[in-house]
Every structure is written in structure tokens, then in C-alpha cells.
Amino acid sequence: MMFMEFNSKKGQIAIEYILFIAIFLLFFQAVIKPAFDFSENVVTDIQSLTQSKENIDLLGQNIDSISSSLGSGKRTVFLYLPNTATITDCNNFLKQLNYKISISNMAPKPSISNCDSNTNTCYFAKQLYIGTNNIYCDAIGPGFSGELTIFKSTNGDLNVSIK
């Protein structure tokens, strides 16, 4: 009889252990996983915003550099944009590169300037210092990794295109 009582306690301990694991997994699913997902989205959005800004700034510096050089010329530059980023156009009147970045749809929303909370898209512009020269470019992206050609004509007009 003592033997059966000992075996039933072993079974009770095993069942309690399984219940403890099940409660832990439910806690993990309900509390910890959403926090991880939120953190991952924040990090991904910040990385995308930072990489896009850095690479657009470098492109802008290359455009400014070739614009200030004498005569005509051509420069090939490498550009990387994350899958969420797009160069929308070159504004010839304002002399700027316009680009947008899509961010994740999470709540609460991060407070990022120039972001439309309805579409989860942030709009930015990189000011160019190209004087009276005209600039033309097509949309590039979303997400782009490759070479761009910056061409300066003899009259000083600039054209940015995919090589």
C-alpha cells in the first residue's frame, strides 16, 4: 500500500509541473511576446529611418559635389535603401531630394516628425546646394541596392538615374 501512495505522489508532482509550464507559456504568450514584438518593430523602424537618412545624405553630398565642379561630368555612386524607403522625386524648384519611409503599424505610435499616422509613412527631404542648376530624377525604390549615375551636362543640369 505504501508503494502505491508513493507512485501517486510522483504523478501529482508531474501534473503540477506540467500545469506550471502551461501557465508560464500562457504568461509568455500574453505578456512577454507582445513586448518583444513591439521592441523589434521599434528597432526595425529606427534602423530603417537611420540607414535611409544616412544614405540619402551621402547621395546629396555627391550631387552637391558634382554640381560644384567645373564642366560636365559623370559620377557613379552606390546607394542602399531599406525595403521600406523610396526616393519619390527631385524637386527642381526647391532643390531637394524627396523621400519617404514606411514604418510599422504598431500601437502606441512612435513620435517621429513628418509621419502620417494614418498611412504609417514618414516624408522627408534632403536639401541640395546646387545653385541655379536644374536636377531631374526618377523614383527609386522601395528598397534599392545598386549603382546610381549622377550626370552633369555642359549647361550644368543634373540627372540622377539608375545605372
99 is written with which cell numbers?
523621400
How far is the CA of 145 from the CAs of 36, 81, 127, in angstroms? Answer: 29, 6, 22
Q: Is the pLDDT confidence value at 104 over 70?
A: yes
Q: Is the pLDDT confidence value at 7 over 60?
A: no
Query: DSSP alpha helices (H): ranges in 28-69?
Result: 33-68
pLDDT tens digits along 61-93: 999 999 998 889 999 999 999 999 999 999 889
DSSP, res 71 = S
* CA-angle at 63, arms to 57 and 69, nearest 5°: 135
CA distance 41 to 78: 27
The pTM of this model reads: 0.78
